[in-house]
Amino acid sequence: GENVEQHPSTLSVQEGDSAVIKCTYSDSASNYFPWYKQELGKRPQLIIDIRSNVGEKKDQRIAVTLNKTAKHFSLHITETQPEDSAVYFCAAYSGGGADGLTFGKGTHLIIQP
Amino acid sequence: ETGVTQTPRHLVMGMTNKKSLKCEQHLGHNAMYWYKQSAKKPLELMFVYSLEERVENNSVPSRFSPECPNSSHLFLHLHTLQPEDSALYLCASSQDEGSYEQYFGPGTRLTVT
């Protein structure tokens, strides 16, 4: 089955700086890579996703890049703000019926004022 | 947000009890999921239902029993749980199984005593 590794587990950045979270996956058949944001005590919510036929996608201050050859994808947040503080999960979908989405362990992003 | 609802939000049960978690989605989706989220592990997929048919997941102990009577409702029946089963149980739904955005419910915080 798919295996997703996510780094770092905790990331602290100054407000206004950029943050980068990286994930690797093992199944070359994976074709869908969503990123979820989970604020304290709340449900995970999709913030951006990318499919295997695209190398980069951007939505305002967030962007995701995908390198299929190296089997890794990254989340980039620019001009970070206090409300960006949360746990971020990457995930990969390989198309297997019982596998569904495989999530990384999450990154706790802390924005320092 | 009321797209995916879960009840109860909090549950405390003894190891000999039998209880059920309920999930309801109002989005017209065809796929529903149960995830377990604990402090030590990432979001773990437990069960997938697609068009009310269960996709087998042999790694989940039999003390967890899912039920999907229709495409809008999903249950997780619990019996003879262990303290290590204490976690946040999240329900999610998506348009179809696969590379579609999953919408999460608020979760049920389960404590097994």
Instruction: Say whether B46 sits in a helix, a strand or coil.
Output: strand
Tokens of A47: 């913030």
Spans of chain A, pLDDT less than 70:
96-99
Choose the closest CB to A93 out of B41, B90, B99: B99
A52 close to B (CB below 8 A): no
Segment B96-107, tens digit of pLDDT: 877 788 999 999
Segment B55-68, tens digit of pLDDT: 767 689 999 999 99
**Res B27 pLDDT > 80:** yes
Instruction: Say whether A21 sits in a helix, a strand or coil.
Output: strand
Which distant-in-sequence residues (6+ apart) come within 8 Å of A45 by Cβ? A36, A37, A38, B104
CA–CA dist A63, A47 (Å, integer): 10
Cβ A48 vs Cβ A74: under 8 Å: no
A32 close to B (CB below 8 A): yes
